[in-house]
Chains A and B, each alone.
Chain A
Amino acid sequence: DAKTTQPTSMDCAEGRAANLPCNHSTISGNEYVYWYRQIHSQGPQYIIHGLKNNETNEMASLIITEDRKSSTLILPHATLRDTAVYYCIVRVAVQNFVFGPGTRLSVLP
């Protein structure tokens, strides 16, 4: 599965949009982009996934560039409860669900 790179940490003011970038320049045509987050002491929580089109659900929006080499997760109105580590994963093989270090998002009051 393709490797992803994310910033180590980001801050966001409460109520503002949080934009979390992810680079996946070696992504192949049949690999999906997944975003999960992990709030302290909890299991990972699914957020959103996509293949090539932009996606939106009740939690977030996912913007994938046309060449699919990068994507951005957008939390439109961040709250304090969105403070977590956010993981960007690209995968096709069911067993290779490997989480890298992710981005530690701190939402500040």
Chain B
Amino acid sequence: GAGVSQSPSNKVTEKGKDVELRCDPISGHTALYWYRQSLGQGLEFLIYFQGNSAPDKSGLPSDRFSAERTGGSVSTLTIQRTQQEDSAVYLCASSLSPGAFYEQYFGPGTRLTVT
């Protein structure tokens, strides 16, 4: 079946520009997560959506980062005024429900390069 998809797969942008990254979760999954992975590093949690509840934004590194999830499905992560330190792979994951019992399925990621 269809897994988590993300677009674009690669994005190169100039410092100071805004970028939007898209995530399509697995159909029926109510929980959606955004992470980022810098070169050679582990995953860093960014934000978490569960149904219609207010998102957990505790991992967002600055107010330049924001995310939306429309209709409980597709999510967009927006980075404003990009900086070189924003360069990373941005990963989206979804799970059937939140909580430790349910495994998260990851998308292939978007590789963002800020020049």
Q: Which of B48, B50, B98, B108 is the one whose CB lies under 8 Å from A43?
A: B108
- Give the contact-size bracket for chain B: 20 to 34
Q: Is the CB of B105 within 8 A of A46?
A: yes
Q: Is the CB of A44 within 8 A of B31?
A: no
What residues of B have a CB within 8 angstroms of the CB of A30 in the complex? Answer: 100
Given A31-B100, A43-B91, A46-B104, A95 and B43 touching (CB < 8 A)?
Answer: no
Within 8 A of B (CB), among A15-61: 30-32, 34, 42-46, 49
Q: Is A101 positioned at the interface, with any CB of B under 8 Å from its CB?
A: yes
Task: For the complex, give the distance between the alpha carbons of A44 and B36 in Å.
Answer: 12
Within 8 A of B (CB), among A61-104: 87, 91-102
Given A44-B106, A94-B31, A95-B59, A32 and B91 touching (CB < 8 A)?
Answer: no
What residues of A have a CB within 8 angstroms of the CB of B109 in the complex? Answer: 42-43
Within 8 A of A (CB), among B61-115: 91, 93, 98-101, 103-109
What residues of B have a CB within 8 angstroms of the CB of A44 in the complex? Answer: 43, 91, 93, 106
Q: Is the CB of A100 within 8 A of B42?
A: yes
Instruction: Give the Cβ gap from B101 to chain A, nearest Cβ, in Å.
Output: 7
Given A42-B108, A43-B108, A44-B91, A98 and B42 touching (CB < 8 A)?
Answer: yes
Q: Is the CB of A101 within 8 A of B91?
A: no
Task: For the complex, give the distance between the alpha carbons of A94 and B99 in Å.
Answer: 6
Given A94-B31, A95-B48, A97-B33, A46 and B103 touching (CB < 8 A)?
Answer: yes
28 contacts between A and B (CB under 8 A): A32-B101, A42-B109, A43-B91, A43-B108, A43-B109, A44-B106, A45-B106, A46-B104, A46-B105, A49-B103, A92-B100, A94-B33, A94-B48, A94-B56, A95-B48, A96-B45, A97-B33, A97-B35, A97-B43, A97-B45, A97-B93, A97-B104, A98-B42, A98-B43, A99-B42, A99-B43, A100-B42, A101-B42
Q: Closest 6 interchain pairs by CB?
A: A43-B106, A99-B42, A46-B103, A99-B43, A32-B100, A94-B98
